[in-house]
Amino acid sequence: MARPTKVEICEVGPRDGLQAEKYFVPTDDKIRLINKLINAGMPKIEFSSFVSPRAVPQLADVEEVLVGLDRTKGCTLAALVPNAKGATRAVAAGVDEIIVFMSASESHNMKNVNRTVDESLAGFEEVARIADDAGIPVHGAIATALGCPFEGDVPVTQLEYIARHYRDFGFIGVGFGDTTGMATPPVVQRAVRHIQDVIPELPITLHFHNTRGIGLVNVLVGLDEGVSHYDASFGGMGGCPFAPKATGNICTEDLVYMLHEMGIETGIDLLKMVGVAHDVEQVMGRELPGQVMKAGPRLQLHELEEVATAAG
Ligand code: COA
Ligand code: ZN
């Protein structure tokens, strides 16, 4: 499979990043950061989720956030939805895209949304109807798709089972979420090849967490398999509050940097993206894991006087 020459990044920081925080980030800060992402050329943003505000209080302001966002630049504003109630709220708020989510493994699905896999799927049939009536596309994400912290390896046949339902519901794509960073190159390759083989008409999005330091390596594997959709988070924030040891997503600026160096287009302005990450860092009040935001792009050179000369 040829590597794509263009990749679509979906920024998930406002959702995956902020849901994992102890404190509620003020609505105005969320709006400013998301509008900066739009201004940096981000093609798609998962800006929040329509879940129970009791389960995830950090994102309880989803409706207010959407009202403040710049809709003039063609950025797709997508939100995460677990059930029909979430879909009804998302349609009423006027999102551009709904992203439903469930886990591949029964135990994490129970922890995260209090449903069995089949119960989640049954609910998505109703989500599909609600979205269809409103003319809103639905993308189907699968959490713990590349490994579950409670059950271990996830059979590719389980991904196929869920993805076939997604295809039958008319969803526009399937996402493999590596919720706790358990993916490795062979795991990614096996899962992607299997779904491309059995359901070739359903585009795949890869959603990696850098929990074990090989997130961008997994992206390279995805690229080699022809996958052109990736999720990433500003500054490398992120993590599921209902999974043990969940840490940040792959970092958006680091991903953009790598792709541009490889001659792969994203439509995103790297330096503006680095600026967003610094703003996020200010809001969070702590250092974020992103690396290009610290070192700068490799050809951003330095004055000789900036460092001392070694004297022996
Ligand atoms: N938005 C807002 N409220 C919702 C809702 C939604 N999408 N879905 C359910 N609720 C409300 C119900 O109205 C009900 O409220 P009430 O008690 O005031 O009548 C309450 O939540 C319980 O409803 P129920 O259907 O029994 O939900 P539950 O307790 O089984 O929880 C979820 C299921 C999916 C709502 C909850 O587990 C959840 O929001 N999980 C999200 C987890 C998440 O975001 N994880 C990170 C992403 S990976
Ligand atoms: Zn995630």
Can you spell out the DSSP letters for 3-36? PPSB-EEEE-IIIIIHHT-SSPPPHHHHHHHHHH
pLDDT at 29: 98
- Ligand nearest to the Cα of 53, by number: 1
Whether 312 is in a domain gets the answer no
Is the CB of residue 246 less than 8 Å from the CB of residue 211?
Answer: yes
What pLDDT sits at residue 80? 98
Q: Give CA 208 to chain center in angstroms.
A: 8
Q: What is the CATH number of the domain that holds 271?
A: 3.20.20.70
Nearest atom within ligand 1 for CA of residue 112:
42
Angle at 43 between CA 198 and CA 207, to 5 degrees: 45
The answer to the question of residue 280 being in a domain is: yes
- pLDDT at res. 190: 98
Is 139 within a domain?
Answer: yes
Q: Is the pLDDT of residue 1 over 90?
A: no
**If pLDDT is split at 50, 70 and 90, which confidence band does 20 have?**
confident
Query: Rounded to two decimals, what is the model's pTM?
Result: 0.97
Question: Nearest to residue 115, comparing CAs of 170, 166, 51?
Answer: 51
pLDDT band at 145 (very low <50, low <70, confident <90, very high): very high
pLDDT in tens, 251-275: 999 999 999 999 999 999 999 999 9
Mean pLDDT within 14-33:
96
Known catalytic residue at 240: yes
Q: Is the pLDDT of residue 212 over 90?
A: yes
Contact indicator for 188, 218 with CB cutoff of 8 Å: yes
Q: Is the pLDDT of residue 24 over 90?
A: yes
At 267-303, the pLDDT tens digits run 999 999 999 999 999 999 999 999 999 999 999 999 9
Residue 308 CA to ligand 2 centre (angstroms): 42
Ligand 1, pocket residues at CB < 6 Å: 19, 49-52, 55-56, 82-83, 85-86, 89, 101, 112-114, 143, 240, 242
Residue 160 has pLDDT above 90, yes or no: yes
How much is the pLDDT for 228? 98
Please give the single-letter amino acid code of residue 248.
Answer: G
Does the structure show a pLDDT above 90 at 217? yes
**Minimum CA distance residue for ligand 1 atom 5:** 52
Q: Which domain holds residue 125?
A: 8-306
| pLDDT higher than threshold 90 for residue 220 | yes
Which ligand sits nearest to residue 250's alpha carbon? 2
Catalytic residue among 10, 75, 148, 240: 240
**165-174 average pLDDT score:** 98
**Number of structural domains in the chain:** 1
Residue at 311 is within a domain? no
Taking all residues of the chain, what is their mean pLDDT, rounded to a whole number? 97
Handedness of CA 249, 138, 21, 109 (dihedral sign): negative
Tell me whether residue 1 is in a domain: no
What are residue 11's DSSP bridge partners? 45, 232
